[in-house]
Amino acid sequence: MFESAELGHKVDKETFKREVPKLRAELLDVQYDMLQKKEFPVVILISGVDGSGKGETINLLYSWMDPRHISTLAFSAPSDEETSRPYMWRYWRALPPKGKVGIFAGSWYSQPITDRINGNMHRSELDGRLEDINRFETMLVNEGALVLKFWFHLSKDGQRTRLKALEKDPRTAWRVTKESYSRLKTYNRLQQVAGHVLRVTNTAHAPWIIVEGTDDEYRSLTVGRIVLDAMKRRLNQEGLQHVPVAPPIVHPIDKKNVLSELDLTQKLAKKSYETQLAKYQARLSELVRDPRFVGRRSLVLVFEGADAAGKGGSIRRVAAAMDARQYQIVPIAAPTEEERAQPYLWRFWRHMPRTGRAAIFDRSWYGRVLVERGEGFCAEADWLRAYAEINDFEHQLSDAGAIVIKFWLQISAEEQLRRFKERQDTEFKRFKITEEDWRNREKWDDYVNAVCDMVDRTSTGLAPWTLVEANDKNFARVKVLKTICERLEAALKDEDGKNIEK
């Protein structure tokens, strides 16, 4: 894989001086064009062998382009805050918005490669992480990002020569450390691991570009031209290539579905409701203060449902059982300009709770396969691929210790109409009803189909859906609280099992 990067590629200094002014001018033109259109971000990953010119290349791109619209993200060992969230969390938050360039010095590949070299990660674990990365990069590209992945290569002798040259120059000597030379000892292991990583993640949508790092001029011109050509092609591309990653939607011919079979007549008398509400709120309060939860787990609650189904009331009863410092309620409305400039999951990524905390979402990432699907706010290919992307996202949350509990609150069309009229006629409830709510009633059947598809495709073993019969608010609120307690209890028992195994 690295043979072509060990041929001794060179560019003489005169050619370099002649080519650079034109290249810089074109890079600036393309950068401003991209900034004006704001159609896509550019994500540049800089990886490779120590001493191969990674830092120099980043500095060069900064000097050749407008640095005001470039961000450089350098990642070292994760902080305590980062280790208490999913592995990808710190990279999710660092993605550049549309129109901007983000350069990653050290990326989502760095830690897996290091862990594998040091023997802290099995081959099967590495392959699992690489599969996650491939799906993540596919999502970025489908969301419009231009992803450029550079691997700077040196032969072992070339690395040693390069380190000595850097060490002799007073301007660069500070870059060479004892650790730099110690990595010569693991060079062969790095090549073996990196070769496997590059092969597995060298995909059509985000291929690796291997660049020989021996000659500064060659490396600089090569990277500059590749970045320029890729940005030009992307700007000239008409639309995005959408490839759905889900089978066709098929609806049952007998009209039975997961919503039609719910018993919406279930009720809970006021006295029984008050008793059970107090019981489960007390139990929830104990569970979220349990050391097994506080020290190792987090809680992600998702509330979706028909308009006027009682999501807000259920959320308030859940929140009342917890310390206000322990949870965050995240109400989701139409995305802002800042959020539209990022992948659709970005605005949810940044609200993921750390260990010992809870995030309660009043509507969620499922808007992509519900409202955006129903209202035509995204293409069919976008909401079709979203099912798999959402499953991947929730799987990563679970792997990081989050307990993901998802509720769909369902009421009948008749009960919805009654609640709409009540809201309209009650002065202090009028803010809860809008023209859009009335308009959505006309699409009742379309939304039922969308909800059933959502449940079928995203109710997984790690993050199953709980369908709540919500015609009676008392019944719905108790079912929600009881479900949360049962899921938390089961998760904490799993923690006990893990401790016994250790």
213 plus 290 within the same structural domain: no
- Same domain assignment for residues 471 and 333: yes
Residue 288 is assigned to a structural domain of this protein: yes
Please report the pLDDT score of residue 247 as a whole number. 58
- Determine, yes or no, domain membership for 258: no
What are the tokens at 434?
Answer: 């809008």
The Cα–Cα gap between 300 and 81 comes to 17
Count of domains forming the chain? 2
Check whether residue 13 and residue 74 sit in a common domain. Answer: yes
218 lies in the same domain as 128: yes
Supply the pLDDT for residue 498.
65
Both 491 and 403 in a single domain?
yes
pLDDT of residue 502: 45
Q: Which two tokens stand for residue 109?
A: 């590949």
- 276 shares its domain with 231: no
257 vs 267: CA distance, rounded Å: 22
**Alpha-carbon torsion, ordered 121, 125, 130, 131, to 10 deg:** -170
In-domain check, residue 260: no
Residue 422 lies in a domain: yes
**DSSP E strand boundaries for 355-413:** 358-362, 402-410
User: What is the reported pLDDT for 157?
Assistant: 85
The domain that contains 13 carries what CATH number? 3.40.50.300
Task: Please state, in angstroms and rounded to a whole number, the distance separating the CA atoms of residues 189 and 415.
Answer: 65
Q: Is residue 241 part of a domain?
A: no
Supply the pLDDT for residue 425: 80
- Same domain for 318 and 178? no
Domain end: 218, 236, 254, which one? 236
SS3 of residue 86 by DSSP: coil
Tell me the mean pLDDT per 10 residues along the chain, length 502: 84 94 97 95 94 90 95 87 91 95 93 92 95 95 94 87 80 72 79 93 92 92 96 83 57 83 96 98 97 95 96 97 96 94 95 96 97 92 92 94 97 94 81 78 91 94 96 98 97 74 46
pTM score of the predicted model: 0.86
User: Does 463 lie in the same domain as 372?
Assistant: yes
Residue matched to tokens 């001086």:
17
403 is written with which tokens? 């307990």
150 and 298, same domain (yes or no): no
Tell me whether residue 426 is in a domain. yes
Task: Answer yes or no: do 188 and 328 share one domain.
Answer: no
Same domain for 294 and 179 = no
Amino acid at 346: W
Judge whether 257 lies within some domain. Answer: no
Taking only the tens place, the pLDDT of each residue in 260-310 is 999 999 999 999 999 999 999 999 999 999 999 999 999 999 999 999 999
Domain that holds residue 64: 3-236
E strands, 49-92, where? Answer: 70-74
Q: Which of 236, 261, 289 is the last residue of a domain?
A: 236
138/185 same-domain check = yes
Would 286 be classed as within a structural domain?
A: yes
